[in-house]
Chains A and B, each alone.
Chain A
Amino acid sequence: MQDGWKRYKPRFLEHSDQASGMYKSLFNFRRLWKQSIVTTLAVVLLPLFTLAVVDYSISRKALESELLLRTTRLVSNLRRTLTSYLDERVFALNFLILDNSFEQLADENRLKQLFENLKSGLGEWYDLGLIDHTGTQVNYTGPYKIRGMNYSGQDWYKKLHYKEQETYHDSIAMRSDVSDVFLGFRMTPHLVISVLHNDPQGRHYILRASLDIEQLSAILSHFELSNNGDAFLINHEGIIQTPSRYYGTIMKQFPLPVPPFSPRTEVSEGEDHLGREIVTGYAYITGTPFILIVIKQKDTLMETWEAAGGKLLVFLVGSVVAIVAVVFGICTYLVNSIHQADQKRLASLHQVEYANKMASIGRLSAGVAHEINNPLAIINEKAGLIRDLFTFRKEYAGDQRLLGLVDSIINSVERCATITRQLLNFARNIQVSVQKVNLRQVVNDVLEFQIKEAGYRNIAVEVDIPAELPEFFSDRGKLQQVFINLVNNAFAAMKEGGRLEIRSRLNDDGTGIVTTVRDSGCGIPPENIERIFEPFFTTKSGSGGTGLGLSITYGLVTEIGGSIAIESTVGAGTTFIITLPLEYHADKGEAHAGTVG
């Protein structure tokens, strides 16, 4: 897991500048990365969240007011329905009392006939009776034997007469009465409608009919079901008149306070006796003792909205995750690109600096070598002459000690000459550009510098470059530097008693030469292999390594049109494989032409 992260972890996260001065990187990549992520996320997510919150509260408010409006509409509709239902029946009785004289109504058969007609037209009638001005029921048709009963003492009778006397208006409302619901003898809930009539002869009498409330309940429960609420009637005293879903049975006390009178439909929000959030709508039904109550549970009403809100929330969270992922990805990619470009720029700056340094060293060494060579040549000749004198003139020949001294002078001169010759060679190769190159020669020249170190450290060096390998055109100096770097690298990787092998062969299609430089050193762990040619990548921490050697090598090989690869096993050693084309084509050699020489 950790290895996986290491592999995909962007390089810039562990970027630290090893360069200083003018090459110091301009950017702090970690900060740049964090800033771009935070800024982009803020710019994208803040409006999104704001919109989401605003939309949430607006839609909630809209839904709530919509809920109130719908409840108002429902209550109004129900009231109209109930009013017209009751009016219809009042009108029907009114029609009978107007259409028939007292005598006709008092006729048993006639009344029975009328009752049957009434039932067939406006069903649910239970009985029908005629009450004269004394309050005595003079005619009755229905299941009970209650003819002759006197009602003059009953409340509804008094109220009807009282209403009639109060007003002097001949409106039906004033001459009719709808009773509360009661159980009566039959123990089934029903209500009674009474209509009073004054005939031209001055007689006043009442037509009284009782009505089952089932149909009324059906109207209300129909609304209940379709609106997921509770719709029922109570009377002015708060006694429940039709079945309620949640607030008690018929004839029981309504648990909430009876709402105050209002001529219009009223809707309000609040809590019921059990603490549930409810929307209550009510309307007084004119001309009756009834108040229509509609109660809706807010929870269940908001449920659908909350379900939709939940979906939106899922969508929001999904969007945020996607946005964060995309922003993270893009920022990482961009900063990584900038980081890589910056690294390349730094590397090329370093390479230019390196090339300049090499050129300076070349000029210096050529000058030194020349100045030393002339006096050296004189010492050489003088010492040579002394030796010749010993050899050719017999008189000096006996002194072996002097001969030894002269030999040692001559040997020292030869050693100096070797050094100046190498310096000159080096200087020449720094300056010379493309020329015919013998790879064997180049590698031998390089090893000449290094062979001493190999000897000290007991490192075996094996070179296998066939003499028949063709010469080819290339930049000798760069080639030499490539091998110097690789050999140095190999020596750095090996302990005492290591082994360095350099082998060359023609490649399979004969267009290039493949050279392997194999050491028996410590090897490179896989996670470092892919970074080994990166500028400033070094494992020689604390030993002054700049991490530039292999990256310059890589640059040089590329410049002379070749390629370099690496194979390594930790503990077993590392092999660099360089392929050089026989046909020279500079990759970007001209980029450095101006800085060399």
Chain B
Amino acid sequence: MRVLLVDDEEELVATLAERLDMRGIEAAWATDYRTALAMVEEKEFDIALLDVRLPEMNGLDLKRLIEARRPGMKFIFLTGHGSEEDFEACSAESGREYYLIKPVQIEVLVAKLNEICQGQGGRG
């Protein structure tokens, strides 16, 4: 399983990526949307974990751009802000299941990733 992590907090994404690696999940990370898009074009990912609030472009718009390049990719939104707009938008975009509020337990995240991947596998 290959996962792309996008969050403006490098400390967070780098650590998270390392921890996922330890669990056998191949994780790459980016801190802005340009890097993220470049990585998507370069490599194939199964799931993208996007922060809702990114500098220059929000997670929802980034999701659309990535989807255009890699249709069939799955997304999980991650946010530290439980505001109404975020909640409404993410629910509409991905369903409540794929919406996580920081901080998230690694076990919860891994379980969710597995669940989504298996869903994909089942359909594919």
Contacts and interface: CB of A to CB of B under 8 A. Distances in A.
To the question of whether A and B form a pair in one complex, the answer is yes
Given A378-B9, A381-B16, 10 more contacts: A371-B80, A378-B11, A384-B19, A385-B15, A388-B22, A413-B103, A414-B105, A417-B101, A417-B103, A420-B101
B82 A428 contact: yes
Nearest to B11: A378
A425 B15 contact: no
A382 B15 contact: yes
Give the dominant DSSP class at A's interface.
helix
B80 A381 contact: no
B91 to A, nearest CB: 11
Contacts of A427: 82-83
Interface string A372-413: 011011111110110010011000000000000000000001
Contacts of A388: 18-19, 22-23, 106
Contacts of B9: 374, 377-378
Nearest to B20: A388
A366 interface: yes
B87 interface: yes
A369 B82 CA distance: 8
A385 B80 contact: no
Interface string A352-374: 00000000000000100111011
Contacts of A366: 81-83
B19 A370 contact: no
A424 interface: yes
A421 interface: yes
Interface residues of A, number: 29
B111 interface: no
A297 interface: no
Interface in B73-99: 80-84, 87
B15 A373 contact: no
A377 B82 contact: no
A384 B84 contact: no
B106 to A, nearest CB: 5
A378 B105 CA distance: 12
Contacts of B84: 428, 431-432
B86 to A, nearest CB: 10
Interface of B: 9, 11-12, 15-16, 18-19, 22-23, 80-84, 87, 101-106
14 contacts: A366-B81, A369-B80, A369-B82, A373-B101, A374-B12, A377-B103, A380-B102, A381-B12, A382-B11, A391-B22, A413-B103, A417-B103, A425-B82, A432-B84
Nearest to B13: A381
B15 to A, nearest CB: 4
Interface in A285-311: none
A364 to B, nearest CB: 13
A424 B106 contact: no
- Which of A371, A374, A413, A432 has the most CB atoms of chain B within a 10 A radius of its CB? A374
B102 A373 contact: yes
Contacts of B101: 373, 417, 420-421, 424
B18 A379 contact: no
A392 B21 CA distance: 11
Given A414-B105, A417-B103, A374 B80 contact: yes
A379 B16 CA distance: 11
Contact of B80 (A373, A379, A391, A413): A373
Contact of B102 (A376, A391, A425): A376
B87 A377 contact: no
Contact of A384 (B83, B87, B102, B106): B106
Nearest to A421: B101
Contact of B12 (A369, A377, A424, A425): A377
A431 B88 CA distance: 12
Name the residue in B12, B16, B22, B82 with the highest tally of chain A Cβ atoms < 10 Å from its Cβ.
Answer: B82
Contacts of B22: 388, 391-392
Contacts of B81: 366, 369-370, 373, 424
A424 B80 CA distance: 10
Given A373-B103, A388-B22, A424-B101, A378 B15 contact: yes
Interface string A542-567: 00000000000000000000000000
B82 A384 contact: no
Contacts of B23: 388
